[in-house]
């Protein structure tokens, strides 16, 4: 059974910590803007003790990262945890976490990319719904953050079911280097590969990171899921193909209800033609509704979704409605 953490309210404290890459790599400008954007949501931001510790891998010791996670869950003043940014090594922490402690102090945990391993493991071990959504650093965008902010608020500050309409524009520029020279283009919206209707509990995030959990106690069952998957510029079409195939081979995939795929970064060299060819070679997908080009993952903007929450997907006659039912 899923455990839903309490929603955020005005004046609540949000703790920033670094389960993967250190806050030390984030510029003063991005931090300043992030703090201002979170203040507009009436949220108070604090930082974990070891958030800026930085080693040869731009991360920190396992002990320091675990200490910060436990401290955030134990602190009664902290109502939500935002991760600094992604990286490569949050799965190092999984055997060192006190899942009973976490389950006894349920609260929001939000991040994406490499944080998929941490968020999914916590959900698998405790039933606590976690959230795939913006990092603290994401809030450091000066322009183009409106959709991301509204989706974050709808999921984490408000109650009730809602639909996720596509953003009007999207971007894949290095915004943290050129805040005043953003490059946006028209968003085509959801693209339908297979039509159909389904309802199920949500699971997913960054595909190559999720796959690190295969065969472990940290991988939730796949039955009754709507899978949301995306990957970054390091995932070329051939890599995405085999990573997706690996997920399809997992026990319980035959009971997956539907799939939503996030927008690819340009450097991945994934075209819609290549993606459609990859997806149509996988006969296991023929029976489920499947849409692509959704607003989550490594491009701007992104919606927040609950790992363990429930959703409904309807893709019929070229039209799509994707609704979050419980979050």
Q: What is 153-194 written as a DSSP string? A: HHHHT--S-EE-PPPSEEB-S-TTT-TTS---EE----EEEE
Compute the residue count for the chain.
327
DSSP β-ladder status, 258-262 and 78-83: unpaired
Q: Give Cβ neighbours of residue 283 (< 8 Å, ≥ 6 apart).
A: none
What are the two backbone dihedrals, phi and then psi, of residue 210, each rounded to the nearest 5 degrees?
A: -55, -40
On the 0-12 / 13-18 / 19+ scale of CB atoms within 10 A, 189 is middle
**Of the listed 230, 235, 268, 327, which one is catalytic?**
230
Q: Tokens in use for 289?
A: 């509704």
Both structure tokens of 78: 């902290």
User: What is the radius of gyration, based on Cα positions, of the chain?
Assistant: 18
DSSP E strands, the chain = 13-17, 44-47, 78-83, 108-111, 130-132, 162-163, 169-170, 185-186, 191-194, 196-206, 225-230, 258-262, 290-294, 305-307, 310-316, 319-326
**186 flagged as catalytic:** no
Contact 85, 26 (CB under 8 A): yes
Count of beta carbons in the 10 Å neighbourhood of residue 6: 11
The interaxial angle of helices 272-280 and 237-248, nearest 10 deg, is: 30
Catalytic site residue 113? yes
Among 22, 113, 137, 171, the active-site one is 113
* Cα dist from 253 to 127, 149, 222, whole Å: 20, 33, 6
CA distance 103 to 3: 9
CA distances from 276 to 224, 226, 261 (A): 24, 19, 11
Known catalytic residue at 230: yes
Indicate which residue of 48, 90, 298, 327 is catalytic.
Answer: 298
Catalytic residues: 113, 230, 298
């Amino acid at each position: 059974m899923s455990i839903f953490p309490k929603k955020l309210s005005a004046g609540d404290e949000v703790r920033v910590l670094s389960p993967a890459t250190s806050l030390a790599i984030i510029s003063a400008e991005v931090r300043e803007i992030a703090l201002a954007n979170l203040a507009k949501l009436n949220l108070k931001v604090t930082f974990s003790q070891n958030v800026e510790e930085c080693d040869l891998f731009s991360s920190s010791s396992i002990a320091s990262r675990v200490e910060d996670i436990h401290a955030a869950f134990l602190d009664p003043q902290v109502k939500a945890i935002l991760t600094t940014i992604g990286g490569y090594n949050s799965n190092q922490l999984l055997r060192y976490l006190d899942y009973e402690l976490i389950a006894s102090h349920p609260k929001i945990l939000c991040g994406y990319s490499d944080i998929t391993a941490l968020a999914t493991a916590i959900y698998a071990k405790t039933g606590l719904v976690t959230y795939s959504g913006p990092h603290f650093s994401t809030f450091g965008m000066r322009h183009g953050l409106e959709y991301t902010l509204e989706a974050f608020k709808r999921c984490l500050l408000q109650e009730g079911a809602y639909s996720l309409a596509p953003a009007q524009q999207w971007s894949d520029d290095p915004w943290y280097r050129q805040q005043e020279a953003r490059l946006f283009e028209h968003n085509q919206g959801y693209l339908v590969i297979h039509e159909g209707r389904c309802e199920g509990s949500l699971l997913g995030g960054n595909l190559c990171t999720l796959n690190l959990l295969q065969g472990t106690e940290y991988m939730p069952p796949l039955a009754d899921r709507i899978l949301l998957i995306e990957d970054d510029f390091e995932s070329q079409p051939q890599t995405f193909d085999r990573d997706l195939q690996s997920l399809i081979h997992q026990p319980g995939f035959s009971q997956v209800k539907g799939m939503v795929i996030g927008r690819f970064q340009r450097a991945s060299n994934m075209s819609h033609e290549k993606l459609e060819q990859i997806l149509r070679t996988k006969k296991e997908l023929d029976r489920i509704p499947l849409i692509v080009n959704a607003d989550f993952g490594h491009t701007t903007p992104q919606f927040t979704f609950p790992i363990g929450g429930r959703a409904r997907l309807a893709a019929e006659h070229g039209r799509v409605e994707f609704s979050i039912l419980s979050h």
